[in-house]
Amino acid sequence: MAKNLRVIAAIPAYNEEHTIGSMVTLTKRHVDQVVVIDDGSKDRTSFIAQSLGAVVIRHRTNEGKGKAVQDAFKIASKNGADILVILDADGQHDPDTIPDLIKPITKGKADIVVGSRFLDKNGTKEMPGHRKVGNKVLSVATKLGTGQDITDSQSGYRVFSKHAFTKMIVVENGFAIESEMLVEAAHKGLRVVEVPISCKYENLHAHTKGSASHGITVLTIILAMIRDRHPLLFFGVPGLIMLLIGGIYGLQKLWIYQRYEQIYIGPTIFIGFMILGGMFSLFTALILNSMGNIIRRLQR
């Protein structure tokens, strides 16, 4: 554990009685306190974790990974943590790599450290193909919202400095919390560093978070976050593209009219739609961006 720094590990868990015991035992070797946030489990997750010395926070119902992370931030602040480690309860993550993830923070090189499965040659060895593709798509979408080249935006293995977990404000309750934290970090000017990790998938208790519906839901929420935080990007870029297409196509049809005196109704309607739509989108981007700047100034 980091010298003279209080390190707390938070493990969100939902029906993980098969793996929570080993996760708590292994994690305790590297931190001062292990907190298991039982998100409405129906099995013995809480009993096992508590019997092994973890502090257990129980949700009466399943509220989602994001709510567990929000609780972790509050617990870390309340218990005087200098560093907060968050890792999954299903056995995917190796707690023995905690010192490697803490190191960039103790050396003053990062505020948030993300364990990336894509930086380790064996990190995605057991990862199903559809998860690799889905993760890449979500990482690209997250990059649009953060401007940072994060290779593994959906990794649940993360470490936060006190400066980070006390400054960040997150509201997502589901698995979109992983991307929201990165968007919020970029918004608050926090430094994010990735560290290679390996990840286990084979012979693990089945989990539904890799489903296609989950990926679509997360992608939709990421796009909504980009819309709210970066309206110039979300509305402005498409608007500019529409104006360019309408302008170029319009000039072409104008040249045809001047030469042959022919008007094509369909293309003319399309040109009008592109130009008007582009102007409306750019106008929306400018208004929302101005409103966002005013709100940010009032919050300072």
**Spatial CB neighbours of 221, under 8 Å, sequence gap ≥ 6:** 172, 174, 176, 179, 180
CA distance 223 to 229: 10
Note whether 216 and 236 are same-domain residues.
no
Note whether 238 and 166 are same-domain residues.
no
What pLDDT, on a 0 to 100 scale, did the predictor assign at position 16? Answer: 96
What pLDDT, on a 0 to 100 scale, did the predictor assign at position 72? Answer: 96
**Among residues of the chain, what percentage have pLDDT more than 70?**
89
Q: Which of 3, 198, 162 is nearest to 75 (CA)?
A: 162
pLDDT at 46 over 50: yes
What pLDDT, on a 0 to 100 scale, did the predictor assign at position 208? Answer: 45
What pLDDT, on a 0 to 100 scale, did the predictor assign at position 97? Answer: 96
Which CATH number do you get for residue 130? 3.90.550.10
Cβ proximity of 67 and 59 under 8 Å: yes
CA distance 79 to 45: 23
Please report, to the nearest 10 degrees, the dihedral formed by the alpha carbons of residues 83, 84, 90, 96 taken in order.
Answer: 0
CA distance 63 to 128: 27
101 or 204, which is more confident?
101
Whether 244 is covered by a domain: the verdict is: yes
Q: In Å, what is the CA distance from 96 to each residue of 12, 17, 23?
A: 18, 20, 10
pLDDT at 40 over 70: yes
Note whether 34 and 65 are same-domain residues.
yes
Tokens of 243: 């104006």
229, 254, 289 — which closes off a domain?
229
What pLDDT, on a 0 to 100 scale, did the predictor assign at position 232? Answer: 81
Which residue range forms the structural domain that includes residue 67? 7-229
What pLDDT, on a 0 to 100 scale, did the predictor assign at position 174? Answer: 80
How would residue 3 be classed by pLDDT, with cut points 50, 70 and 90?
A: low
Whether 2 is covered by a domain: the verdict is: no
pLDDT at 293 over 80: no
The number of domains in the chain is 2
DSSP secondary structure string for all residues of 82-93? SEEEE--SSS-S
Note whether 212 and 245 are same-domain residues.
no
Q: What is the pLDDT of residues 128-154, one digit of tens each?
A: 676 677 777 877 777 777 778 889 988
pLDDT at 206 over 60: no
3-state class of 126 per DSSP?
coil
Tokens of 116: 């990336």
Note whether 128 and 204 are same-domain residues.
yes
pLDDT at 159 over 60: yes
Using DSSP, how many helices (H) and how many strands (E) does the chain show?
11, 7
Residue with tokens 């499965």: 117
Q: What is the pLDDT of residues 225-271, one digit of tens each?
A: 777 777 887 888 889 999 999 999 888 888 887 887 777 788 889 88
Computed over every residue of the chain, the mean pLDDT equals 86
229, 253, 276 — which closes off a domain?
229
CA distance 46 to 60: 12
pLDDT at 210 over 70: no
Whether 57 is covered by a domain: the verdict is: yes
Q: b/e for 136-167, b at 16 or more Cβ within 10 A? A: ebbbebbbbbbeeebbbbbbbbbbbbbebbeb
What pLDDT, on a 0 to 100 scale, did the predictor assign at position 235? Answer: 86
How would residue 50 be classed by pLDDT, with cut points 50, 70 and 90?
A: very high
Q: Please list the alpha-helical segments (H only) found in 52-128.
A: 65-78, 98-106
Q: In Å, what is the CA distance from 37 to each residue of 41, 60, 81, 82?
A: 10, 11, 16, 19
Note whether 193 and 283 are same-domain residues.
no
What is the DSSP code (8-state) at residue 56?
A: E
What pLDDT, on a 0 to 100 scale, did the predictor assign at position 123? Answer: 59
